[in-house]
Structure 1
Amino acid sequence: MADLRAELAARIRATLSQAQGAARDRLRSARAAQEAATARLERTRRAAAEVPDRVGAERDRRLAVIDTRHADRLDRLTAAARGAAALAAPGAAGTGWDDWAPAPLPRGQRADPVRVGEAQVPGGQPVPALLPLLDSGHLHVSGADAPGCDAAVSGVLLRCLGQAEPGLVRLAGYDPEQLGGGLAGFAPLAGAGLLTFAGPGGLGALLDELVDHIRRINETVLAGEHSSLHELAAATGRRPEPWRVAVLLGGEEPSRHERGQLDRILRTGAACGVHLVVRDIDLPQRPTLRRLTADGDGARLSGLGTLPVRLDPSPPAPLVSRTCREVAARFSAGPPPALLADLLPAAEQFWRESATESLTVPIGDGADGHAVSLTLGDYPPHALIGGPSGTGKTNLIFAWIAALTTRYSPAELELYLLDFKEGVSFARFAQGRRDPSWLPHLRLVGINVNTDREFGLALLRFLADELRRRADAARKHEVTTLAELRDADPDGHWPRIVAVVDEFQMLLAGRDAVVREAADLLEDLARRGRSQGIHLVLASQDVRGIEALWGRPALVAQFTLRIALPKALRILAERNDAAQSLPRHHAVVNDESGMAEGNRIARIPNAGDRQSWNDLQQRLWRMRTPDAAPPRLFDGDAVPLLTAAPDLRELGPAEPGAGAPVALLGEVIDVRARSARLRLPRAPGRNLAVLGTRVDEACAVLDAAGRSLARQHRPGAARFSVACLDPDADTAARSLFAALGDDAAWYDEQSVGELLDETAGELTEAAATPHYLLVYAVDALRRLPGGEAGLQQLRRILHDGPERRIHLLGWWRGVARLRADLGGPASRTDQIGAWVALDVQGAELALLYPGPGGPHWYPRPWRALYFDRAVHRTGQVIIPYGPQS
């Protein structure tokens, strides 16, 4: 039992011990949990205590981020605004006064807004404050800050002047309080008419004038086709009317009428280029009106909200006066010419026009922004151009030629150009030594012909022949006009012909046969040429004093197209003085015979730039047809060469039975490059006398005759005897002798008698090979030993030699000496069948010339009068060929 009890007690103790241990474990766990909970609580309490601080820090952090982002965004916005302002108002519209200079805008571009100061952006960089004025609206300035208002007005006006071409901004001032002193810095503009003042009480008249101007712009310039001058300028590339800015600086309260006019200008002025800058005069609110208020605490500009504006300082007075003087000077000098490119069609449109009905091309810009055109056709058929030296006649002709030759092909248009003044203006259109190109439409260029009226007459004769050819063709096809002829004969070559004669009065100077024939031909061409497509363009500094036009109203009446350059006289009708007030680079174009109602003012482009012309001519030249030939270039100052003569190239050894040999003596003054020819058949009188004292020219005539004759004979088929009796001609004579080779014999003073004796002996023999005697200074025979006997032989040779193929080509140093050598005053002269007169007056040639009196001939350097009894009715002016190298 005791054991049982002991075992039981042991088990109870063990169970209690286990229970206690478990209790202790649970207690320790509870204590640990309590401690952990207490720690958590403490941490929670500490965390709860720290929460307000963390929230505040996060809030501050986030606010700081927002502030930074806002500042960055503001910086970006202000930077963008400043960049946009710089783009919107570049150059003269927005540059600071330290670096400011005028910078006119390109043609047709809308005017930029102008800077008046800087808008102050809170927390950001200042932004330029811009005011749209020209082409946009009006400005009202007010406030207690008088210096700030003055600075704003001066700055706005100077910036407007600086961004426009001189003359495109015109100011009108009304300043009754200061009597114009408020615009004193702009006074230099007044001398050029770019600034006008209305005195006290003159506000109404000024506003009436502006309203009338707006009405005129709407009725005649915009004419319902465009809504504003800016739109018209953008469409045409130029501004037809200047901006007008009326500056109204205070004064009495406007009347009811003046209020009404102000309101009309506010509503309609901006579209017509009329703008108001008003100070201290109340204006009603209009969408086109901006208000600038300058008080002591800053300025405000409508359109910028409540942003304050710091106004720019007033432009420096020297800058204002210097700019105004420069603008006035440039405007007084006249506007620059337009661009030649404006007259030309697009390259792909070259040579696309038809000349069947007329030739119509633009010549420049008109006052309304549209091109002014010139027409040559049935009406008007011909043109008269006038203007003093230096006013641009040649430039206008160049512009006209450029417009014509780019629109009409050479098959539609042919040009003949003749310049009577001393110059080579038209030479650029012909083939040159350095530039092989030429204008494909050109058939003739005559330059330096101021002493060669015969060349002008030759051109008129050529045109008269062409007129007859066309009239004959028209009769054959039973038509009357060029358009009908082209229709009836589509395979024929019937281009319109335009003949331009600059300084044409030189052709009609004097009262000789040349003038009479030229005037008759001009009248006939002017009257009948219109129907056959032949048009005359005559240019002159002044038609006053041209005697050949007196009594010929029918001639002048045909020139219904009149073009008057600045200060031109008697080109337009008597009471039409529009040309007297023209600026440079302008012309009055009138196709109503000069009557005032036909006036159109054109701004002529600069067509004289050589490089631009070369580029254009090269392009047209490359478009020519393969068979196109270069034009004939006649230069009155150039001496032609025999080697370049087309007639010489056609000569060659004659076949048996061919025609008589021909001596070439010089170049004929004619439209075609041809030689003066002397035929030497077996007929009486076929000898040549060269008359005058100019050694070089006399030797040149004999030299050309000898060389050209030798070209027609094979070696040994002709004899040449060269005799020189003047030491001054020895070099030239020996040059010819050397050129003639083995067929030539040389004779001098000692041996010339033998030549004459031998040749006279041949007169009794049958004609064998041709024998040409080229004798220099024939009249020197008389002073030689046996001279009288030699003269007797000479007379026999002259009389009987040509029939036996012996021809004398001699030089006599005077007509009297020739007559003496022929036998004296009573001797016959018919053995001299042809002569070339050099420095011999026309009256001296009376005995050698048919009809009463001598020819109308006056000597001039390197010109000669050629007459052949067998061919000519009147003498022919020629140019001796130059010495051969």
Structure 2
Amino acid sequence: MKRTAVAAEVGRALGQARGATRVAAEAAADLLREAELRLAGLEADAAGHRSELEAEREARRGASTARVRAEIEECTTAITGLVGPENAPWPSWEVTEPERGSAPELYRVGHLTREIPAMLPLLDRAHLSVSVDPDQAVPLVATLLLRALGSTRPGGITLSVYDPEQLGGTLAAFAALSPAGLASFYGPGSLTGLLDEVVEEIRRIHETVLAGEYGSLRELAASTGRRPEPWRIVVILGDGSIGDGIDDLSDRQRAQLDRIARTGVACGVHLITVGVPISPAENVDGTVSGLPVVFDAPPPAELITGTCKRIAEVVAAGPAPGVFADLLPEKLWTESSAAGLTAPVGEAADGRLVDVMLGDAPPHALVGGPSGSGKTNLLYAWLGALCSRYSPDELELYLLDFKEGVSFARFARGRRDPSWLPHVKLVGVNVNSDREFGLALLRFLAAELRRRAEAAKEHEATKLEELRAEDPGGRWPRIVAVIDEFQVLLGAGRDPVSTEAVILLEDLARRGRSQGIHLVLASQDIGGIEALWGRSALVSQFTLRIALPKARRMMADNNLVADVIPRYHALINPDSGALPANRVVQVPDAGGRAVWEELQQRLWSMRSPDLPEPRLFDGDLVPPLPLETPSGPVPIASLGETIDVEGRPAILRMTRAPGRNLAVIGTRLAEACAILGSAAITLGRQHAPGTARFTIACLEPDARDTAGSLAAHLMGMGHVPEYHTDRIGPVFEEISLSLEGPHYVFVYAADAAGPAVRPAMRRVLQSGPESRTHMLGWWRSVPRLKDDLGGAGSQVARLDSIGAWVALDVHGSDMSSLYPAGNTLSWYPREHRALFFDRAHHRLPEIMIPYRVA
């Protein structure tokens, strides 16, 4: 029983245990499922986090890559900018000149990697101390020198090479610079002298060029746009005589070398030493900026020699001109000329512009230089500097050129360029045969001087500056008259033109300064001008002297500087040529038309709309008959253009006074016909159709076409001219001398009328003007005119019947019988020129140019 009970009790316990186990198992399964779900959720979360982290890493990796690429591109761009054409490989390298006064910052000597070149500083930046194997050092120096020479203007670098071992042979290819003074080689024992020379050069630049105003030549060039001194590269090649490059230097040499190292860069002096350490310097020891470098192969010797020869040839030919734009101010027309005119003509050796003044002192200028020395170019440069600073209300110009050419014609309106220089009032070109035009200019200036003196007296002023202050509403510009080749005006002898010209010049030179009238006389050579040098009082007024290369007798006897100055240079001296007042300037190239056109266009566009254009007198041109006709209380006949500043017509007033007839004398048919034609046309313009009578008689067969055209022209104006070509006796016999109205009789070849016509012709000549009948005739010689007027002994032949005459190809001596007693005529016939004298209005005959009548 007990055993059975125990067994039952055990069975119950097992059953309970199995039930508890099932419950526990089920609970554990639930927990496991819950854990699995939670694990699956955690794994999903982890996967999401992994994706975010990967995306973040990719984004960061992309940004870093882009930044690196941008930096690489930026560095590549910078390197490309530094590696310009002057740093190209030798097969494609060529000479390139940068902006004036500047130099490349770095020069290629090799490469750090295939893409990145190795660059070294030099000009205006550093000295170089090379301590590499000699087989690499010399090619490296040659590379630097050629790249520097090829990237500066010719003459911009000078070389000094100390080469005691090879005696200049190490860099012998650069010896081609020596003939032009751009390279010097120094041998054993000359190092001390070289260093002393360089130290003295640095001292001079500090004292006279930088002068405490600038810290370096680089700064000066950046400020002014000019570099007054060339760079100097001093190459010192160490050898056995110097030992290891420092031990064998004397204390003096070491001290001088240290001075150059400290102060040279600021003065454009640079050391390149091989085996001689210096400080401060860029050390080249097989690395550049701490990075190993593979040096380029040296330039071919023929490339060095050819480049140096071309540079030497350019320098030997003379320095290049300056830049015209450097003479111009930043703003145009801002200066006042009340106290004088100041403008630069070029720059001095220190790079500063040199001003030239015209005022009370100095008042006038002499400019001299042989043909081809640049005299006209200097005048262009000076005028450009003046006209850009002073407006037309401050400055007026009168320009006259006596040499064969049209140097000043560009300043007046032309066929190609309609603009003109607003300051110019008169331009005279091709006047080498018209000395009278120069005399007319002097007479005009003398009249202006009188006008200004009277105004100054009225305002109690003694000079122009005071007159302008007392009369602020008046217009009182300074006047500059430029006469190129002025010795032509003064002539080779003592004729009336030269005599009067010298008198006027002396008066203008003496009194013009106070009234703002300034003379600039230019010439190729003034040594043999007797009329000028015979008047010391005149020459002494021209205290401003400007001499071009090889100019003679411009300066004091002991002042020979003009003999040695190079081309595109001028010697400026405001003290009558005294040696201490010398200033040598480099003159820009202002002669090219393109150089002037831009400035003239700008000035022309700024002019006042009512500013009249300048008068252009061209001695080679025949002026056309003007469309405007002079007017007055009596009819006026225009015969031609007078040779004067205003270009007035030569006129004959047709009054009722005795002698109001005209005789044209000479054999030049075309000019005689032109004079009669212009007189008839201008008279025809002044009379309404039907109010005046015109009679034309032509006895010269070769003139009939011209006379017939004149008759047709008058008919076109509404007149009814009478035209005769054969017998003209009845013409004169039928002329009524009553006051029925103006009657103009034009006779071509009047001397061919014959003796039978003379009485009637004399009657018209003697009595016609009082009845308003005037004869304008052409006689082919003075004797024939005398015969027609009554014979050589008649008083009528001299004066009465012919009150005005025009002489063509007739000498002055032949005209004595038609000229007031006691006077002689100095007249020699010239093509397209005539001598006009009207007894009623002229004291002296005046030269005129017959008009071109279409």
> One fold, TM greater than 0.5?
yes
The structure 2 residue matched to 1:336, chosen from 320, 326, 331, is 320
Q: Is the 8 A contact 1:664 1:675 kept in 2?
A: yes
Kindly state the Cα deviation for residue 205 of structure 1 after the two structures are TM-superposed: 2.5
- Return the alpha-carbon distance in structure 2 between the equivalents of residues 16 and 768 of structure 1: 179
Give the percent of matched residue pairs that are identical in Structure 1 and Structure 2: 54
The structure 1 residue matched to 2:398, chosen from 416, 419, 427, is 416
Matched, 1:545 2:540: no
Name which of structure 1's ranges 613-622 and 856-865 shifts more when overlaid on structure 2: 613-622
Runs of 4+ aligned structure 1 residues displaced above 6 Å come to 22-29, 66-80
SS at match of 2:756: helix
The structure 1 residue matched to 2:440, chosen from 453, 458, 466, is 458
User: What do the CA deviations read for 1:385-417 (whole angstroms, capped 9, x no partner)?
Assistant: 222233332332222222222222222111111
Kindly state the Cα deviation for residue 606 of structure 1 after the two structures are TM-superposed: 2.9
Matched, 1:210 2:180: no
- Return the alpha-carbon distance in structure 2 between the equivalents of residues 7 and 89 of structure 1: 113
Change (3 A) 1:155 1:475: same
Q: Paired residue for 2:724?
A: 747
User: What do the CA deviations read for 1:745-802 (whole angstroms, capped 9, x no partner)?
Assistant: 11223x212113223xx3xx54432222211111222xxxxx2222233233323332
The structure 1 residue matched to 2:543, chosen from 525, 535, 560, is 560
SS at match of 2:171: helix
Within a 5 Å distance, the mapping from 1:315-394 to structure 2 comes to: 315-346=299-330, 349-394=331-376
Name which of structure 1's ranges 247-256 and 318-327 shifts more when overlaid on structure 2: 247-256
Q: Amino acid of the residue matched to residue 810 of structure 2?
A: V
Change (3 A) 1:434 1:185: closer
- Return the alpha-carbon distance in structure 2 between the equivalents of residues 134 and 315 of structure 1: 20
SS at match of 2:170: helix
Kindly state the Cα deviation for residue 555 of structure 1 after the two structures are TM-superposed: 1.5
Q: Paired residue for 2:747?
A: 775
> What residue ranges of structure 2 are gaps of 5+ in the alignment?
30-59, 243-248
Within a 5 Å distance, the mapping from 1:695-844 to structure 2 comes to: 695-741=669-715, 742-749=719-726, 751-759=727-735, 762=736, 766-781=738-753, 787-828=754-795, 829-830=798-799, 831-844=801-814
Change (3 A) 1:68 1:678: closer
Q: Paired residue for 1:490?
A: 472
- Return the alpha-carbon distance in structure 2 between the equivalents of residues 84 and 385 of structure 1: 52
The structure 2 residue matched to 1:279, chosen from 274, 287, 292, is 274
Change (3 A) 1:689 1:223: same
- Return the alpha-carbon distance in structure 2 between the equivalents of residues 635 and 611 of structure 1: 22
User: What do the CA deviations read for 1:310-367 (whole angstroms, capped 9, x no partner)?
Assistant: 2211101121112112212222333433333322223xx3222111111112222222
Kindly state the Cα deviation for residue 433 of structure 1 after the two structures are TM-superposed: 4.2
Q: Amino acid of the residue matched to residue 282 of structure 2?
A: R
SS at match of 1:737: helix
- Return the alpha-carbon distance in structure 2 between the equivalents of residues 79 and 681 of structure 1: 94
User: What do the CA deviations read for 1:799-820 (whole angstroms, capped 9, x no partner)?
Assistant: 3332333222111112222223
- Return the alpha-carbon distance in structure 2 between the equivalents of residues 67 and 256 of structure 1: 61
Matched, 1:98 2:91: yes
Within a 5 Å distance, the mapping from 1:196-275 to structure 2 comes to: 196-250=184-238, 252-253=241-242, 254-275=249-270
Q: Paired residue for 1:862?
A: 832
SS at match of 2:519: strand
Q: Is the 8 A contact 1:81 1:127 kept in 2?
A: no
Kindly state the Cα deviation for residue 609 of structure 1 after the two structures are TM-superposed: 4.0
Q: Paired residue for 2:575?
A: 592
Change (3 A) 1:261 1:753: same
SS at match of 1:729: helix
Kindly state the Cα deviation for residue 853 of structure 1 after the two structures are TM-superposed: 6.2
- Return the alpha-carbon distance in structure 1 between the equivalents of residues 74 and 393 of structure 2: 60
Q: Is the 8 A contact 2:103 2:151 kept in 1?
A: no
Q: Is the 8 A contact 1:111 1:135 kept in 2?
A: no
Q: Is the 8 A contact 1:723 1:776 kept in 2?
A: yes
SS at match of 1:543: coil
SS at match of 1:276: strand
Change (3 A) 1:274 1:16: closer
User: What do the CA deviations read for 1:295-314 (whole angstroms, capped 9, x no partner)?
Assistant: xxxx245xx23x33222111
Q: Amino acid of the residue matched to residue 804 of structure 1?
A: S
User: What do the CA deviations read for 1:267-318 (whole angstroms, capped 9, x no partner)?
Assistant: 21111111222234x34x412x23334xxxxx245xx23x332221110112
SS at match of 1:225: coil
Q: Is the 8 A contact 1:118 1:310 kept in 2?
A: yes
- Return the alpha-carbon distance in structure 1 between the equivalents of residues 490 and 404 of structure 2: 17
Change (3 A) 1:329 1:622: same
Name which of structure 1's ranges 422-431 and 875-884 shifts more when overlaid on structure 2: 422-431
Within a 5 Å distance, the mapping from 1:407-446 to structure 2 comes to: 407-433=389-415, 435-446=417-428
The structure 1 residue matched to 2:150, chosen from 159, 162, 175, is 162
Q: Paired residue for 2:246?
A: none
Q: Amino acid of the residue matched to residue 163 of structure 1?
A: S
Q: Amino acid of the residue matched to residue 728 of structure 1?
A: D
- Return the alpha-carbon distance in structure 1 between the equivalents of residues 67 and 418 of structure 2: 67
- Return the alpha-carbon distance in structure 2 between the equivalents of residues 632 and 91 of structure 1: 52
Name which of structure 1's ranges 508-517 and 679-688 shifts more when overlaid on structure 2: 679-688
Within a 5 Å distance, the mapping from 1:48-87 to structure 2 comes to: 83-87=77-81
Q: Amino acid of the residue matched to residue 543 of structure 2?
A: T
Change (3 A) 1:15 1:190: same
Kindly state the Cα deviation for residue 559 of structure 1 after the two structures are TM-superposed: 1.5
Q: Paired residue for 1:36?
A: none
Q: Amino acid of the residue matched to residue 779 of structure 1?
A: D
Kindly state the Cα deviation for residue 679 of structure 1 after the two structures are TM-superposed: 1.7
Q: Is the 8 A contact 1:459 1:671 kept in 2?
A: yes
Change (3 A) 1:602 1:822: same
- Return the alpha-carbon distance in structure 1 between the equivalents of residues 681 and 24 of structure 2: 154
Q: Paired residue for 1:395?
A: 377
Equivalent pairs, count:
814
Change (3 A) 1:435 1:23: closer
- Return the alpha-carbon distance in structure 2 between the equivalents of residues 86 and 738 of structure 1: 80
Change (3 A) 1:788 1:527: same
Matched, 1:500 2:476: no
Q: Is the 8 A contact 2:358 2:364 kept in 1?
A: yes
Matched, 1:665 2:639: yes
Q: Amino acid of the residue matched to residue 603 of structure 2?
A: L
Q: Is the 8 A contact 2:484 2:522 kept in 1?
A: yes
- Return the alpha-carbon distance in structure 2 between the equivalents of residues 457 and 16 of structure 1: 158
TM-align CA RMSD: 3.1
Q: Amino acid of the residue matched to residue 745 of structure 2?
A: L
SS at match of 1:103: coil
Kindly state the Cα deviation for residue 160 of structure 1 after the two structures are TM-superposed: 1.1
Q: Is the 8 A contact 1:387 1:567 kept in 2?
A: yes
Change (3 A) 1:111 1:220: farther
SS at match of 1:643: coil
The structure 1 residue matched to 2:815, chosen from 845, 853, 857, is 845
Kindly state the Cα deviation for residue 434 of structure 1 after the two structures are TM-superposed: 5.1
- Return the alpha-carbon distance in structure 1 between the equivalents of residues 62 and 110 of structure 2: 28
The structure 1 residue matched to 2:9, chosen from 4, 9, 12, is 12
Name which of structure 1's ranges 245-254 and 489-498 shifts more when overlaid on structure 2: 245-254
Change (3 A) 1:70 1:473: closer
Q: Is the 8 A contact 1:846 1:852 kept in 2?
A: no
> What residue ranges of structure 1 are gaps of 5+ in the alignment?
33-65, 294-298, 782-786
- Return the alpha-carbon distance in structure 2 between the equivalents of residues 73 and 483 of structure 1: 69
Matched, 1:134 2:126: no
Q: Amino acid of the residue matched to residue 117 of structure 1?
A: G
Q: Amino acid of the residue matched to residue 511 of structure 2?
A: R
Change (3 A) 1:616 1:77: closer
Kindly state the Cα deviation for residue 851 of structure 1 after the two structures are TM-superposed: 4.6
Change (3 A) 1:8 1:608: same
- Return the alpha-carbon distance in structure 1 between the equivalents of residues 483 and 384 of structure 2: 17
